[in-house]
Structure 1
């Protein structure tokens, strides 16, 4: 079983390196469907995994100057309190309870579908926003919208471990269409570090992190994401994203039915 986890970590890491899509939308359903891990434990373990890997990514983006810290601050103003409240909600209702696990399973499926939408339509949505500058928010309205988006993502990530990657980046593109792709990626990763850390700490408090499983996943994912990142330029992006969207749609359907 340990070897299977290492191989799974490698496969997910490679796909993340190739496509840029967050590992949560891949790893959490994989643990739940293929290995029969409890949805709550899968979410908690993946959050601990994400907080480690995103911290390294933020350092790289900070060195390159591709993090918009004022946007990160507004996102965190919404996301961090929401993560704490969601954790308390899981504690109150019983995070490891079978009924709550069932609800989390559905939330994972819904988050995966949001990731599919983000994968398929991000470019078109960005083009529409740029073509209609009168629809773009400015000033205080933009700051409030960013805080509210942070709260939504904080709740989603704490419950399902999915949302801080493709979904968060797509919403940032719609709110800040003039940011470069590198700034979108850097800002999205930077705010996700404290969010996933707080959410992971909450799941540790709830007792829903499998540390042995986490270590074996990291053994595979670190070389996987390195190889995937190096091979990304040689693979057609549209083909990869289409394949990933199709796979994730099937995963979401399997989790629901």
Structure 2
């Protein structure tokens, strides 16, 4: 291992990779700004090194979800039809554009708006699920069969791959927003698992382009790999088994964080904003839980299990029956 190996960079990549494994996104939107802001890596070198590291990190996270059965492979296939060639072409396009910084700035602002909309959508879905009016399956429910919309899915992959090739951002952030819109019936862990697997060939194609035409730096990539591989494994283990409501809350926070980063918010204001949002989310959750408890207390005992009061007495005489 080289003497100039940066352990603080490895620790930072470990923390970011946990978020990637937990939510399927945040790698490019958080890792690349971290390299530029805190470690002084040039933007092109940060993009190149991040993508090469992600080519190793993403398969680790997707393998965990594949074993848990939380991946829609048909969606992955149609996304890759558009994203793989577009990701490689995005690197060439970034080279061809003379003012790449202004193009990246426009893309970042547009993505910031999309990410904020997606975060608001997740909050709304959580509220509807709490009120019992959401069509999104929760834990323990059988998810409906997803009908793959081929043309929109390929277009999502194409746009996402192009943006990834130019900026390294979007393999999770941009595509997971589109999947939320196209397939609202996907459970939260299915959304994360599908997004992680589709990102594997996409990131490989973009990484190959940056190895050939970018500014790849081995010492940066090595530090990212040391931290990101165990981090994404840990995050994926949690997300493949965690309750959908928990993943939805974390995903909403990451969406907001990524959006604010796209708008150019500094690290310290971003950290304080997330602390306030997390505290507000906990307060709202506790309030709703207390409200549910009060509503249950107001119900008469017969209303808790309507139509079962007579059956329960009948069952007690017969003895316990086998659960379905």
Where does structure 2 lack aligned partners over 5 or more consecutive residues? 137-145, 267-324
Aligned residue for 1:72, secondary structure, equals helix
- Runs ≥4 residues deviating over 6 A: 125-129, 229-234, 236-239
User: Within 1, Cα distance between the matches of 2:199 and 2:24?
Assistant: 15
Aligned to 2:27: 23
User: Within 1, Cα distance between the matches of 2:88 and 2:23?
Assistant: 30
1:183 aligns with 2:201: no
Q: 1:117 to 1:63 in 2, by over 3 A?
A: same
* Paired residues, number: 245
Q: Is the 8 A contact 2:112 2:260 kept in 1?
A: no
User: Within 1, Cα distance between the matches of 2:44 and 2:182?
Assistant: 31
Q: Is the 8 A contact 2:83 2:202 kept in 1?
A: yes
Aligned residue for 1:114, secondary structure, equals helix
Q: 1:172 to 1:239 in 2, by over 3 A?
A: closer
Aligned to 1:118: 118
- In angstroms, what is the RMSD of aligned CA positions? 3.6
User: Within 2, Cα distance between the matches of 1:205 and 1:87?
Assistant: 10
**Further displaced range: 202-211 or 237-246:** 237-246
1:220 aligns with 2:227: yes
1:202 aligns with 2:206: no
From 33, 39, 43, give the equivalent of 1:35.
39
**1:143-154 alignment to 2 at 5 Å?**
143-154=150-161
Where does structure 1 lack aligned partners over 5 or more consecutive residues? 132-137
* Higher gyration radius (CA): 2
Larger RCO (CA within 8 A; separation ≥ 6): 1
User: Within 1, Cα distance between the matches of 2:122 and 2:221?
Assistant: 31
> Going by fraction, where is helix more abundant, 1 or 2?
1
User: Within 1, Cα distance between the matches of 2:152 and 2:119?
Assistant: 22
User: Within 2, Cα distance between the matches of 1:222 and 1:109?
Assistant: 30
TM-score (normalizing by structure 2): 0.63
TM-score (normalizing by structure 1): 0.77
User: Within 1, Cα distance between the matches of 2:116 and 2:124?
Assistant: 14
Q: 1:111 to 1:246 in 2, by over 3 A?
A: closer
User: Within 1, Cα distance between the matches of 2:95 and 2:183?
Assistant: 35
Measured after TM superposition, the shift of residue 244 of structure 1 is 4.3
**1:1-257 alignment to 2 at 5 Å?**
2-17=6-21, 20-93=24-97, 99-108=99-108, 110-124=110-124, 142-225=149-232, 244=254, 247-254=257-264
Aligned residue for 1:54, secondary structure, equals helix
User: Within 2, Cα distance between the matches of 1:79 and 1:219?
Assistant: 27
Q: 1:113 to 1:162 in 2, by over 3 A?
A: farther
Q: Deviations along 1:185-222, whole A, 9 cap, x unmatched?
A: 22212211100000000011113222210111222233
User: Within 2, Cα distance between the matches of 1:44 and 1:167?
Assistant: 19
